[in-house]
Structure 1
Amino acid sequence: MSQVICTTVDEDLSFNLFSRARYLILVRDGVIIHREINPALSSVSKRPMVASRCVELGADVVIAPHGSLCFPSYQILRKAGVGIYAINVGERLNVDLTRASKHVDLGEVIYSSFLAVKERIMEAVFHEQ
Structure 2
Amino acid sequence: MICTTVDKDMRIQVFSKGELMILYDPEKKEVVYKEDNVALKSKARRPEATKECIKLKADTILGAHGSFCFPSFMMGRKAGKKLIYADPGTPVFEVKGKEVTISEVLYSSFTAMKERLTEHHT
Q: Same fold (TM over 0.5)?
A: yes
Counterpart in the other structure of 2:21? 24
Matched residue type, 1:121: L
Alignment partner, residue 12 of structure 1: 9
Alpha-carbon distance between aligned partners in 2 of 1:124 and 1:68, rounded to the nearest angstrom = 20
How many Å separate the matches in 1 of 2:52 and 2:103?
24
Larger radius of gyration: 1
Q: For residue 76 of structure 1, give the secondary structure of its aligned residue in structure 2.
A: helix
Letter of the 2:71 partner, please give it.
P
- Residues 26-45 of structure 1 correspond to what in structure 2 (within 5 A)? 26-28=23-25, 29=27, 30-45=29-44
Q: Which runs of 5+ in 2 are unaligned?
A: none
Distance in 2, matches of 1:23 and 1:115, equals 20
Give the C-alpha shift of residue 105 in structure 1. Answer: 0.5
- Cα distance in structure 1, aligned partners of 2:61 and 2:118: 27
Distance 2:55 2:90 in 1: 25
Unaligned 5+ runs, structure 1? none
Give the Cα separation in 2 of the matches to 1:56 and 1:94: 22
Distance in 2 between residues matched to 1:93 and 1:112, nearest whole Å: 20
After superposition, the CA RMSD in angstroms is 0.9
Structure 2 length as normaliser, TM-score?
A: 0.95
Aligned length: 120
**2:108 is aligned with 1:112:** yes
TM-score under structure 1 length normalisation: 0.90
Partner AA of 1:18 in structure 2: F
**Structure 1 letter corresponding to 2:38:** P
1:80 and 2:79 correspond: yes
